[in-house]
Amino acid sequence: MTSSFWNERYSEQEFVYGTEPNTFLKEKLATLTAGKILFPCEGEGRNAVFAAQQGWQVNAFDQSEEGFKKAQQLANQNNVEVHYQVADALAVEYPKESFDVIALIYAHFPSAIRQDVHQKMVSWLKLEGYIILEAFNPAQLKNSSGGPKDTSMLLTQEILEENFKGLTIEALFYETIILHEGKFHQGEAEVVRFVGRKK
């Protein structure tokens, strides 16, 4: 998906994926002590703003200027600070071992770059830090509740085991859920959920 695709999608006045955080992310963050967190491909900012409200020091990036504007608007409405930049996943850089958590919520990368991007994120993670991920798996193609229509961009347990080898896997499973995240994430969905820890 190009930045022009996302700019067009996010240019609507409404928050097209809602303003409430992802359920899996919310559950996982509730078990952790607030620290530094990064949200790649953060779009309109719903998850970043939620984390900031919980006391996390939040960084985020996305390739969409319009997503950035919406995220800033949401952060201002909620009186929180989010350090958000407009950047491409391959080009963006952060210091090594600088985040306690990296949260990949529906961050689907082209297969040609995915492993490189995921490994780069592992390098940004502090020792004992976590990757928290929720994404669509290939079974999602039969549903109309969101996600890429390119099978190669959907995530399997095997892809995650390979891309995040070196992390200790604390959770990795498929689940059928009901999404209620704005107008583009509505209804039954097939997802994969992953929690990995850097030991």
Q: DSSP string covering 80-109, please?
A: --EEEEE--TTT----TT-EEEEEEES---
Is 71 exposed, middle or buried, given 0-12, 13-18 or 19+ CB atoms closer than 10 A?
A: buried
As assigned by CATH, the class of the 3-198 domain is alpha beta
Instruction: Sketch the domain layout of the chain as residue ranges.
Output: 3-198
Answering whether pTM is above 0.85, one says yes
Q: Are 136 and 109 contacting, i.e. CB atoms less than 8 angstroms apart? A: no
pLDDT tens string for the chain (199 positions)? 678 999 999 998 899 999 999 999 999 999 999 999 999 999 999 999 999 999 999 999 999 999 999 999 999 999 999 999 999 999 999 999 999 999 999 999 999 999 999 999 999 999 999 999 999 999 999 999 999 999 999 999 999 999 999 999 999 999 999 999 989 999 999 999 999 999 9
Q: How crowded is residue 30: how many other Cβ atoms within 10 Å of its Cβ?
A: 8
- 3 state DSSP class of 132: strand
- What was the pLDDT predicted at 13? 87
Q: Are 94 and 38 contacting, i.e. CB atoms less than 8 angstroms apart? A: yes
